[in-house]
A and B are shown apart, each in its own frame.
Chain A
Amino acid sequence: MRDRQASREARRAREFEAFVAGAAGRLLHAATLLTAEAPDDNPRARRLLTPALAHTYARWDRLHGEDPYDCARQYLATRFAREAWHHYGGFAQSRPHPRSPLAELAPRERLILVLRMYEGVAEEQTAALLGLPVERVHSICDRAAATVLHPTRTPVPGAAGAKAVPS
């Protein structure tokens, strides 16, 4: 019994190490885009990614064929959404780093743009994950893409709000 558990733990640790070696770079990049930090100075992105990986590790034996990358990404997105939308002292208020390509976007625009464009998540899935109508996800994503492509170079406060951007 104890032997079996030990071997299962060893296997889990081995598989998880391989997963982190392959996926951590991309997940950390996504997290850094979400928190709008500089690529070489991203403490908040790391604070966001570590619990996502820990959660994936804890679920490892009960994934039942589910992609661990999906699991980690989903946790990352919902945690960011929760912290950015409900605790206004958290991610929302911290000033975006000017070197981040998403510095001009509000947290929710960043989240939708990263899920749709960087991670390639389908519109319907993004909408279901965030509890928004599909049309709303579509319009927010379009607006965010337009802002990224044609930056105005004016510092925007982090709080979410409608911005008039010609598209």
Chain B
Amino acid sequence: MNRPQREAAVRRILERTQPPVPPELWGEAVRRGDRLLRRRRLVHRVLWLLLCAAVVAFGVWAAGAHPWVEPPSQTTPPVTGW
């Protein structure tokens, strides 16, 4: 038996008995899919909320602390003996 014949024979064996599709399959898949979607939407919303809160917190901190201003130098030796 050559390769195409062998493959055709295997395909015939695999195709032999078709299992019946249970009628509740569609409803169950939609129910679980909806739950997945809802959960994903919730996670997205929470992550966006966290991002917004982080941006606001950073803004408030930056407005108070002015991190872009160079801090006064502390390396100059103290001037003494005038």
Listed stretches A54-62, A82-90, A123-131, A153-161; interface member: A54-62
Cβ–Cβ contact A117 & B14, under 8 A:
yes
Given known pairs A20-B29, A24-B26, A53-B33, the reply for A118 and B21 (CB within 8 Å) is no
* A interface secondary structure, majority: helix
Question: Which size bracket describes the interface of A in this complex?
Answer: 35 or more
Cβ–Cβ contact B25 & A50, under 8 A:
yes
Chain B residue nearest in CB terms to A41? B19
State the Cβ distance, B11 to closest chain A Cβ, in Å: 6
Does any Cβ of A come within 8 Å of B70's Cβ? no
Q: Which residues of B contact A (CB under 8 A)?
A: 1, 6-7, 9-11, 13-22, 25-26, 28-37, 40
Given known pairs A33-B14, A145-B7, A149-B9, the reply for A39 and B19 (CB within 8 Å) is yes
Known contacts A20-B26, A28-B19, A57-B37, then 9 further A-B pairs from the complex at CB < 8 Å, ordered by chain A residue: A13-B30, A16-B29, A24-B26, A40-B19, A50-B28, A54-B30, A57-B33, A145-B10, A149-B9
Cβ–Cβ contact A45 & B9, under 8 A:
no
Given known pairs A28-B19, A39-B19, A42-B19, the reply for A57 and B30 (CB within 8 Å) is yes
Q: Which 9 pairs across A and B sit closest by C-beta, in order of nearness?
A: A57-B33, A53-B29, A54-B32, A39-B19, A58-B36, A54-B33, A39-B17, A118-B14, A58-B33
Q: Which residues of A contact B (CB under 8 A)?
A: 13, 16-17, 20-21, 24-25, 28-29, 32-33, 39-40, 42, 45-46, 49-51, 53-58, 60, 101-102, 113-114, 117-118, 145, 148-149
